[in-house]
Amino acid sequence: MSRTRKSPWLVVLTLICTASVSLAAETKQPPEDLQFETGAHSVEWLNGRGLIRPTHAARLLISKSKSHIGGILQTPAGASMSKRQHDFIKTTVRTYHKIDSGNTDVRGYWEFTLYAVSEDDAKKMAMALLELLANETKKQVQDRIDTKQEFAKIIADEKNMLAKNEKELAAAQARLDNLRAAVHYLSLNEAMEAASEFNRILSTFNVEYAGIKAKLNLIESYISKYRETGHADMFGKLEQMKIEQLIELASVNARKEMAQAMRKQANDFCTSHRHVHELKKEESELSQSLKNDKAFVKKLESSLAAYPLESLLPKVYENKVTIYPVGGVTTSNRR
């Protein structure tokens, strides 16, 4: 019995290392009640380079981060930006600046400064970043839901395969026990040695059989010769010799058939013994796999309960976004 199943453990291990959530509802859009404030001073375009220069920047502290903001134009807010803002994002090297959470004033929040060509576009940049992170969270959530559903199917398949294996193993074990009672082999090695010995014996019988057949052919030729010449005495002796060889041939054939039957029993024992061993091995592997998968699903369900979607959606610190005018360009890393 063999089994083939998809085993997404590389994906699973990645999912275990990240927060898991359960969700069937749609991902909420970023909050519409963001508070936009105007900064008291201007900010610089850090490491800025491009033909289109930004005039404004949106700065916010957010509870999630990305290594890049590619795809921001595919969000609803991104699609609604001005054409000049689209051109700015597509052609400019530095469209945002990020400070890691360990270096911001609020622990667990990243600071994003998003550059734009107008105040309205700066606000939409903030909204688009939230939408981008929310969509990414939704995808992560769906991946985890899909993984749970996939493992539910895997576990069901494993249970069915294990039940089938148990029935097949019971039947195979019964056949092996019956063979043990008939042939009295105590081990696989003993049966293999017996099969090898019967092969040797059968080879000997084949040699004996060939020798007797040769004798009979020669006796037949002499019988024909002396039958024609009328030598009754010699004819009678040859007939007697023929009878003796026929008796020996029958004996060899009988012993050969018995050896063949006993060899078959030994080979059947070997085959049955190996089959039982393979089924027991697969039963052990299936049982362990089922145990591991159940344990994983249990951990996943615990994680789903501990991390509802609401706790993973990106949050803006104090729900506040500050819009600054952009002054000059600098290559420094100061805020």
Write out pLDDT tens, residues 280-314.
999 999 999 999 999 999 888 888 788 777 778 88
DSSP state, residue 71: T
252, with CB counted inside 10 A (0-12, 13-18, 19+), is buried
Q: Of 44, 48, 41, give the one whose Cα is nearest residue 88.
A: 48
> Could you tell me how many residues make up the chain?
335
CA atoms within 13 A on the CB side of 197: 9
User: Tens digits of per-residue pLDDT, 212-267?
Assistant: 888 888 888 888 877 766 667 777 888 888 888 888 888 878 878 777 777 777 77
Long-range own/partner contacts, residues 100-108 (CB < 8 A, 24 or more apart): 100/65, 101/65, 104/61, 105/61, 106/61, 106/317, 108/63
**Is residue 125 very low, low, confident or very high in pLDDT (cuts 50, 70, 90)?**
very high
Cα 121 → chain centroid: 46
Mean pLDDT of 168-186: 82
Tokens of 183: 């042939």
DSSP state, residue 35: E
Indicate the SS3 state at residue 243. Answer: helix
Cα 65 to Cα 183: distance, rounded to the nearest angstrom: 72
Indicate the SS3 state at residue 60. Answer: strand
Cα 39 to Cα 58: distance, rounded to the nearest angstrom: 9
Among 110-124, 168-182, 261-275, the minimum mean pLDDT is found in 261-275
- For residue 139, the model assigns a pLDDT of 86
**Is residue 19 very low, low, confident or very high in pLDDT (cuts 50, 70, 90)?**
very low
pTM above 0.75, yes or no: no
Domains of the chain from N-terminus onward? 30-143+308-330 (no CATH), 152-304 (1.10.287)
147, with CB counted inside 10 A (0-12, 13-18, 19+), is buried
